[in-house]
Amino acid sequence: MSNLNKIIEEIEEVEQSANGQIDQQILNLDQLEHWRIIFLGRNGEISKLMKYLSSVSDENKRIIGPKINNLKKSLSNKYNLTQKKIDQRNNAVTEFDFTLPGRPVNLGNYHPTTLIIREICTAFSEMGFQIIEGQEIETEKYNFDLLNIPNDHPARDQWDTIWLQTENTNVKHLLRTHTSPMQARVMEKNNPPLRVIIPGKCYRYEATDATHEWQFHQIEGLAVDKNISFSELKGTLFEMARKLFGTDQKVRFRCDFFPFVEPGVDMSIEWNGKWIEILGAGMVHPKVLEGVGYNPKEYSGFAFGLGPERISMLKNKISDIRNFHLNDLRFLNQFTI
């Protein structure tokens, strides 16, 4: 190998070694200084290469001279760049201000449905009602039969039902269409007097729109005792409306039909100059009392079922019930405790 080739090879080796070290091994300024001395120092590798210039021909000088100069420039650049990077890293650590307040943690809120259910339940528990919960998967017997809605009765159409396919084909299961099946379940397990409130989810095979969801909530109320009359029903619901909407709240009762109450009513509240229906109610039908083994001559009671989302919509000026399930934080963040 000629002298020239040997020198070129050496230049390349120095380049490789210098770049390899600075890219992979240099972590701090001390190491960088050590690297500088080895490659760019007075007796470093670049200086050693420079010395070849005095021993080669002018022609070869013109070949290796620029190569050595370029290498020196590129290593000097790399040195400056690495020094900057290390400085920045060091400053980033030393400039961290430990006295700064921490980043705020996003705290969750209660869902508006939870808030309104709690508010309504509190109103009733202040009137002596006990709060209980029930199951969302029901049988035909409790959702319909024990509520005086026999098979093939047209009243069933009022509750578009999501039926379930289960292994037991003798018992028909469904997603409860209302919370009323809990009336029979509570009465079967308890003796009067009783006053209960039952919040929970309901499901109907319905097209959704601004006031209808296929999954929504209801709050059922039931009171059974001796001598319970329609006055107690009216008084209780009137008091609830005053607690929820303010002491001036006007309410209106009108006749309505539900097979499990007699007489049946719906209650509306006066809202922005209009009557808005908020619940169905009535005196528990004697057949329902009989069905759970109560003597209708001895006991009477009232029941009602209301939709908490609809009440929240009125109170909070929500124009579309579907907002409750959209999971949109712009909507949900507006509700705080």
Judged by CB under 6 A, the residue of 213, 251, 269, 294 near ligand FA5 is 213
What single string gives the DSSP state of each residue in 145-179?
A: GGGT--TT-GGGGGS--EEE--S-TTS-EEE-SSS
SS3 80: helix
Catalytic residue among 18, 35, 36, 178: 178
For ligand FA5, the closer of residues 184 and 261 by Cβ is 261
Tell me if 267 sits within 8 A of 187, measured CB to CB: no
For ligand FA5, the closer of residues 71 and 279 by Cβ is 279
Residue that the structure tokens 């409306």 belong to: 241
For ligand FA5, the closer of residues 44 and 280 by Cβ is 280
Tell me phi and psi for residue 235, to 5 degrees.
Answer: -60, -45
- Asked if residue 178 binds ligand FA5 (CB under 6 A), the reply is yes
Whether 173 is catalytic: no
Alpha-carbon distances of 265 from 23, 57, 76, 90, 148, rounded to whole Å: 83, 115, 92, 77, 17
Q: Which region among 12-20, 111-119, 274-282, 325-333 touches ligand FA5 (by CB under 6 A)?
A: 274-282
Tell me if 205 sits within 8 A of 228, measured CB to CB: no
- For residue 177, the 8-state DSSP code is S
For ligand FA5, the closer of residues 192 and 280 by Cβ is 280
For ligand FA5, the closer of residues 67 and 243 by Cβ is 243
Residues 279 and 307: their CA atoms lie apart, in Å, by 7
Strand order in the sheet with 137-139: 137-139, 173-175, 162-164
Whether 123 is catalytic: no
Q: Which residue is nearest to ligand FA5 (CB)?
A: 307
Binding residues for ligand FA5, rule CB under 6 A, total: 22
**Which residues, 14 to 33, sit near ligand FA5 by CB under 6 A?**
none
Least distance to ligand FA5, CB of residue 218, Å: 5
Comparing C-alpha atoms, which of 6, 8, 34, 7 is closest to residue 21? 34
- Asked if residue 39 binds ligand FA5 (CB under 6 A), the reply is no
**Which residues, 49 to 68, sit near ligand FA5 by CB under 6 A?**
none
- Asked if residue 145 binds ligand FA5 (CB under 6 A), the reply is no
The CA-to-CA distance between both ends of the chain, in Å, stands at 86
Q: How many residues does the chain have?
A: 337
Least distance to ligand FA5, CB of residue 323, Å: 12
Judged by CB under 6 A, the residue of 175, 307, 313, 318 near ligand FA5 is 307
Whether 159 is catalytic: yes
Catalytic residue among 204, 217, 285, 310: 204
Residues in Cβ contact with 259 at an 8 Å cutoff, skipping those fewer than 6 apart: 147, 148, 149, 153, 155, 285
- For residue 212, the 8-state DSSP code is B
For ligand FA5, the closer of residues 7 and 233 by Cβ is 233
- Asked if residue 196 binds ligand FA5 (CB under 6 A), the reply is no
Catalytic residue among 18, 218, 224, 265: 218
SS3 216: strand
Q: Which region among 41-49, 99-107, 162-170, 306-314 touches ligand FA5 (by CB under 6 A)?
A: 306-314
Q: What track of x and - describes contact with ligand FA5 for positions 233 through 262 (by CB under 6 A)?
A: -------------------------x--x-
List strand residue ranges (DSSP E) for 184-238, in order. Answer: 194-203, 215-225
- Amino acid letter at 331? F
SS3 250: coil
Least distance to ligand FA5, CB of residue 130, Å: 17
Binding site for ligand FA5 (CB under 6 A): 178, 180, 204, 206, 212-213, 216, 218, 258, 261, 279-282, 303-307, 309-310, 321
Catalytic residue IDs: 159, 178, 204, 218, 261, 303
